[in-house]
Amino acid sequence: MTRGIRTWTAAGLTAGLVAAAVLATAPAQAASGHVYYVPVSRSLVVAGHGYGHGHGMSQYGAEGAAREGKSYRQIVRFYYPGTTWGTNRDLVRVLVTGDYTSGLQVRATAGLTLRDLQSRALSTLPARSGRDSWRLKPGARDRSVTVAQFHDAKGWHTWRRLLGDGQFEAGGPLALVLPSGATTSYRGVLRAASPYAGATVRDTVNVLPMDAYLRGVVAQEMPASWHTQALRAQAVAARTYASYEQRLNRHRYYQLCDTTACQVYGGASAETSTTDLAVAKTAGRVLLYGGHPAFTQFSSSSGGWTSYGGQPYLPAQRDPYDDWSGNGVHDWTTPISVTRLESTFPQLGTLDDIRVVARDGHGAWGGRVNQVVLDGSDSAVALTGEDLRFMFGLRSTWFTFEPTPIITKWRQLGGAKSPLGRPTSPEVPVAGAGRTTGARQLFDNGRAFWTRADGATALSGAVLARYRKDGGPGSRFGFPRTSVLRTSEGHGRKTGLDHGMILWSAPTGAHSLYGRVLIAYRKHHLSGGRLGYPLTSVAATDTTESAHFQGGTVVLDKRTGKLTITYR
C-alpha cells in the first residue's frame, strides 16, 4: 500500500471527472455548504490532515502508539476492532510489474532448475562455463509455446521447448534481470505465466511462502528504523491484506501485485534485519473477521481520524496516536492552480468559487471531503473529493481551502452576522488610483476590498455610499486603508483611505476629506477636536479647497498655500 510511508492510491482519476460525480460514503456523511472564493492571485491554498485514504491502520499512528508503549497486538486491536486471530502460511503468487517484457531472464546460479508447468517435469540446468543467464520467452513462430534459452559469449541459444508455462527454481534467491539490465533478487520461484490459455505473452510471477513474501513487503511499507512493535503491527496488517487478496484471487494466475495498487514488494533485495525480525516474531499471524482474512487496509497517516472503510472493523474513529513530532504529514498545506482547473474543465468559463457540499462528518472542518462543486461563470462541475485529490496530488481528502484575506476579514467581523451580511459575488480584480491594483467582493449589505499593502477592509452603510459616490478605488481617494471604525469619542464612524478619509455621524451624514484640509483637521484631533464632524466634503475651485465642520471652516488658498481655520 505504501513505500517508505507513501500513500496507497487508486489506479488513477475516477471516470467521472468531466461529468458530475458522487462518491459513495459511510452513513456518517454530513452536509457542508462552505463556499471558498477564488482570490485574484488565482491560486488557492489547501490545508489538510493525514496522508492516504485513512482506512484502517495509520502507519504513523502505529509508530506513535508504539512510542507510547503499546504492543503490536494492542495496535492492531485498536485499528481493526472486532477482528480475531488466525494463521496463514500458504504460498502466494505476486506479479512482478518491473519485468514488463514477455521474457523472463535470470542469472545463472548453482542449483538452478527449470520446471515445465504442464508436464511438471523438473530439469537441472547445465552449469557450463560461460553460461551467464537463462530465460523463458514465447516461441518465435508459435508464441503460445515457451522456449528455454541460455546466454553465453556468442549470444542466446535455444536449449529446450516446454509443453506449457515454465518457472525457474533454486535453493536460494533468484536474480531477476529487468529490462533496464538491473537485477533484483527474489525468494521462491520465478514463473513465466500465461495470463490465459493460448496467450502469446508472458508475465513474470513470483511464487513463494507468505512470510518470505512479507520480508520483502514490510521493509518497503515502513521505515526499518521504526519501533519494533510498529513493525510487527505492519507485518500483521500486510500479511492479512495479502491473505485477503489471496483468497479473493485464488484462481487467477497472480494474486497480488508489487506496487501501491496492492502493497509494495521489493523481493529479497529489499529485506532488512529489523523488518525480518518483525515478520519472524509474528510468523503466520493474520486477522480474521467472520472466519476469513480481514481487508486490513492501511495508509501513511490518519491525520487524527481514521475514515470508514466499508467494513465493521474499519470504522471512522478518533486516532490519538497519529499526532507526534515525527509525523510531518499530520498537517500540511499545498497550493493548487485555478488555471489548471479551468483548462481541465473549459465548460466552467472563469472559476468563481468552490463549494464543499458533503463531508464525512468526522474531525475538523466536518471531516473528509466527499463532494465539491466548481462554480464557474458559464457552468458548474461536480467532483468527488478523491477526484480533486488525485488531480493535484493532495495527501488526503481531509482538506479545506484557506480563505482569501477578504473572507478572513469577513469572518473576523462576524461572518453572516456582521454588518456586511453574506457574500453575493466572487472576488474580482479592481484597479485603484495610480498603479495600485486590488480586489473587491460584494456582500448583502456592503463591500470588501483588498490590496497587498493594506490587506482586507470592509465598508458598509453611509460610509460605503459616500465612497462609491466619490468614485471608489479608481477615484483620487484610492482603496480603503481601514474598515469602518468607531471615532475616538464613539459617536460616529470613520474610514481611512489611501489618499483621504470618510467620516460619518447621524446628525451630519458621511463626508470625504483629503489633502491639506484633512492634514489640518487631523492636527485639530479630527472629530474629537473643536471642529467636530464635517458638514461637507472638500469642495475644490480653481483657487481654493475648503470644508465646513460643526465647529468651523477650513480653507486652503491654493495660490499662496495659506491655510485658514475659522471657528464658529
H/E element, 155: strand 155-162
- Pairwise CA distance, residues 251 & 311, whole Å: 24
Specify whether the CB–CB gap between 178 and 135 falls below 8 A. Answer: no
pTM: predicted TM-score of the whole model, two decimal places: 0.84
The residue type found at 459 is L
Nearest CA-CA partner of 514 in 543, 493, 542, 536: 536
Instruction: Tell me which DSSP letter residue 304 carries.
Output: T
CA angle 252, 258, 263 (to 5 degrees): 100
H/E element, 221: helix 210-221
User: For 396-408, what is the HEC assignment?
Assistant: CCCEEECCCHHHH
Specify whether the CB–CB gap between 301 and 97 falls below 8 A. Answer: no
CA 457 vs. chain centroid, Å, equals 32
pLDDT of residue 141: 82
Specify whether the CB–CB gap between 136 and 102 falls below 8 A. Answer: no
| Burial readout 152-175 (b: 16 or more C-beta within 10 A, e: otherwise) | eeeebeebeebeebbbbbbeebbb
Torsion 237-240-244-246 (CA) sign:
positive
DSSP, collapsed to helix, strand or coil, labels residue 174 as strand
pLDDT of residue 252: 96
Q: Where are the alpha helices (DSSP H) in 471-542?
A: 515-523
pLDDT of residue 13: 34
Q: Which residues contact 365 (CB under 8 A, 6 or more apart)?
A: 34, 359, 398, 399, 400
Specify whether the CB–CB gap between 345 and 353 falls below 8 A. Answer: no
- Pairwise CA distance, residues 49 & 328, whole Å: 10
| pLDDT tens digits in sequence order for the chain, 568 residues long | 643 443 333 333 333 333 333 333 344 455 556 899 999 888 899 999 999 999 999 999 999 999 999 999 999 999 999 999 999 999 999 999 999 999 999 999 999 999 999 999 999 999 888 999 999 999 888 888 899 999 999 999 999 999 889 999 999 999 999 999 999 999 999 999 999 988 889 999 999 999 999 999 999 999 999 999 999 999 999 999 999 999 999 999 999 999 999 999 999 999 999 999 999 999 999 999 999 999 999 999 999 999 999 999 999 999 999 999 999 999 999 999 999 999 999 999 999 999 999 999 999 999 999 999 999 999 999 999 999 999 999 999 999 999 999 999 999 999 999 999 999 999 999 999 877 789 999 999 999 999 999 999 999 999 999 999 999 999 999 999 999 999 988 889 999 999 999 999 999 999 999 999 999 999 999 999 999 999 999 999 999 999 999 999 999 999 999 999 999 8
The residue type found at 537 is S
Specify whether the CB–CB gap between 497 and 531 falls below 8 A. Answer: no
- Return the C-alpha torsion angle 171, 177, 183, 185, nearest 10: -30
Nearest CA-CA partner of 162 in 148, 151, 150, 149: 148
- Pairwise CA distance, residues 133 & 149, whole Å: 9
pLDDT of residue 208: 98
- Taking CA atoms, 558 is separated from 146, 375, 535, in Å, by 101, 52, 22
- Pairwise CA distance, residues 478 & 499, whole Å: 6
DSSP, collapsed to helix, strand or coil, labels residue 521 as helix
Specify whether the CB–CB gap between 337 and 354 falls below 8 A. Answer: no
The residue type found at 86 is G
Residue 269, C-alpha cell as written in the block: 533485495
Q: Which residues contact 564 (CB under 8 A, 6 or more apart)?
A: 554, 555, 556, 557
pLDDT of residue 17: 36
CA 420 vs. chain centroid, Å, equals 33
- Pairwise CA distance, residues 278 & 215, whole Å: 9
The residue type found at 417 is K
- Pairwise CA distance, residues 257 & 263, whole Å: 7
H/E element, 237: helix 228-248
**Packed helices 228-248 and 72-79: angle between N→C axes, nearest 10 degrees:** 50
Half-sphere exposure of 439 (CA within 13 A, CB side): 19
Q: Where are the alpha helices (DSSP H) in 336-447?
A: 338-344, 385-392, 405-412
pLDDT of residue 184: 98
Nearest CA-CA partner of 153 in 176, 180, 129: 129
Half-sphere exposure of 273 (CA within 13 A, CB side): 0
Beta-strand ranges (E) seen in 219-330 are: 256-257, 285-289, 292-293, 298-299
Q: Which residues contact 107 (CB under 8 A, 6 or more apart)?
A: 132, 133, 174, 175, 177, 183
